Amino acid sequence: FTVHVLRCILRNLLVAAHNLPLIVAVMLLFDISPGIGVLAFIPGFLIFLCNAFWAAFFLGMICARFRDIPPIISSLMQLCFFITPIIWMPEQLGDNAYWLLFNPFNAIMETMRAPLLGRPLEVGVWLSALGFTVLLWIVAQAFFTRFRGRIAFWV
C-alpha cells in the first residue's frame, strides 16, 4: 500500500522542484540571504515529508472507502489555504496569533519558511509541528491496523 503513497509524494515533489529556480531568483532579486540558518530548512522539510506520507496514507484509505470524500477534501484544502498565513501576515491577528499553533498547515509550513527567510526558529512552532506529525501517525496506523484486510476490496 505504501508504494502508491510514495509514488504520489515523489510525483508532487518533482512538480514542486520546478519552482526552486523561481524561489532562488526571488531571493536574489530582493537580496534575501538566509545564511547558515538555511540548514534548519532540512529538519522542517523532513517533518513535512513525514506529514505528507501519513496524510496521503490515511486519506488514501478514506478516499478509497468513501467515494464522496475527494471533493470534500478539495474544498477543505481551499479553506485551509485561507486560514493559513500564506497570503496574509500573522501579525494581522494581533493578540490572537497564538491560535496559529493549532493550525497544522501553519506549523509545518513555518518550520520550512522561517529558516529560508532568515527568521529565528520558534520552539512552539516546532513542538506543534511534531505534535501534529505524531498525531497523524497514530491515526493513520490505527486506521490501517483496523482495516488492513478490507482495503483491497475498497479499491
How would DSSP label each residue in 40-92? GHHHHHHHHHHHHHHHHHHHHHHHHH-TTHHHHHHHHHHHHHHHSTTSS-GGG
Residue with the three cell numbers 493549532: 102
Q: What is the pTM of this model?
A: 0.87
Predicted local distance difference test score (pLDDT) of residue 119 = 85
**In the predicted model, what is the mean pLDDT of residues 136-143?**
97
The residue range of the domain holding 115 is 2-154
Arithmetic mean of pLDDT, 65-76 = 94
DSSP reduced 3-state for 153: helix
The total number of structural domains in the chain stands at 1
pLDDT for the residue 81: 94
CA distance 86 to 142: 32
Burial degree of 51 (CB within 10 A; 0-12, 13-18, 19+): buried
What confidence tens digit (pLDDT) does each residue in 8-26 have? 999 999 999 999 899 889 9
